[in-house]
Chains A and B, each alone.
Chain A
């Protein structure tokens, strides 16, 4: 369980040294405008970071990804005044999004359709038929996404942040409220599982 709460300023976080003094003046000004109720500034924030958060949320829980991103931005707006500039805006948003994802998982428990809930037409050829989807993601990437969602929450999130979002272990440790070694251990476990999972597809 994350030790974070949205009312707690990032500046007060115990391990915030990883993120100190990395926010640009532009980011700080943007967040100040948002905390003052500037809608254009918030729209700018949404434009800059929706894709980043969507990638995390989708890989974490595809079926709820859009809701998770909307909820993350809602909380970022509500708590904009707690942003002090000692972390990057991206790190601050990641932290909110991770918390929203894990909270959603806790509230909703495990989600999986029973086969009886799915009609026959859905079962046959059940996949994303869009040509652009096929271009975006091959079979292996789809299998990776499936395998990801079978991982324990923390392993899944560490893997997403490290391997798919490219964050440092220090940033991941801050975002998840764990130490760097725990982040490394979680990543190793996740990769072991996923490697086995994808074994038939790895040539």
Chain B
């Protein structure tokens, strides 16, 4: 059983939808596979969290406004006499809707030849669907999902969910993850691949979720049909490009984002914004500030 299948089975088990055989397989996988044990525990905590999501109260006066609108748009003056007991206790919420806007793409990419779907036996901790083969230019320390540490210098490496890449050298190193996505890890910086997933049918890598543990990275991504954008997270925000070149740097309590081309959607607990080319923002807990000192990203 692959880790992704184990996660799906666990989700199904929350609904009581697994057979005893499937449950036994899931239990066995959890005992054997350290690479996803923590993820499965998080899935259980996530499910527990969902049980406590509160129902929202409606804005004050909404029921009356509904009646007024319906009365106004139909022939009925019948609602004028209708008394509605408001159950609302909340006030208006002014949250902007969010979604990823399509954006024009302009990016010159460092092109590497990346082999997809050609992974051979990578061991039980590297299921093919959760592994991509990337090409590294420069020098990086690679900590695998099985905690094995190795050095990579200018060669291809398998990257799986749970993989950590650390740049301990003085020069930046670039990782071409797909033909459309390259991440440059600056000196003294570290990223962790929270989730990598490749569609077995199409061989398209559709999930790449990365966490910037420290330092700074620069991302060059050309979105194409069927591919999902990289999700690059820090403790303060998650950045999702819509086909762009951007850089993210992390300092204590603060994330700095600079966009060179295209747009980047920035998700924070206090709101969501598009940041366009030539702009920069700083994100701290509870605040987002325009960064006046943002510079273009060196190519």
Contact = CB atoms under 8 A, between A and B. Distances in A.
Interface of A: 37-40, 42-43, 46-47, 50-51, 54-55, 58, 61-66, 69-70, 73-74, 77-78, 109-116, 118, 120, 123-128, 130, 132-133, 136-137, 139-147, 149-150, 163-164, 169, 184, 187-188, 191-200, 202-203
Q: Is the interface of B mostly helix, strand, loop or mixed?
A: mixed
Contacts of B97: 61-64, 111-112, 149
Contact of A115 (B54, B79, B281): B281
Interface residues of B, number: 81
A147 B46 CA distance: 13
Contacts of A149: 97-99, 272
B98 A124 contact: no
A116 B78 contact: no
Interface string B176-220: 000000000000000000110000000000010101000000000
B234 to A, nearest CB: 8
A128 B93 contact: yes
Interface of B: 7-8, 11-12, 15, 17, 42-43, 45-46, 49-50, 53-59, 62-63, 65-67, 69-71, 73-74, 76, 78-85, 87, 89-102, 194-195, 207, 209, 211, 231, 233, 235, 238, 240, 265, 267-276, 279, 281, 286-290
13 contacts: A39-B67, A42-B78, A47-B63, A73-B70, A112-B273, A118-B273, A123-B287, A136-B56, A136-B90, A163-B53, A164-B53, A192-B195, A200-B233
Q: Is the interface of A mostly helix, strand, loop or mixed?
A: helix
Given A43-B84, A46-B84, A202 B56 contact: no
A37 B82 CA distance: 12
B82 A39 contact: yes
A132 B238 CA distance: 27
Given A114-B276, A115-B275, A203-B45, A37 B96 contact: no
A70 B59 CA distance: 12
B233 A47 contact: no
Given A51-B87, A61-B97, A195-B42, A124 B54 contact: no
B57 A51 contact: yes
A146 B269 contact: yes
Contacts of A128: 93-95
Contact of A116 (B55, B71, B85, B276): B276
Contact of B49 (A43, A51, A140): A140
Contacts of B279: 115-116
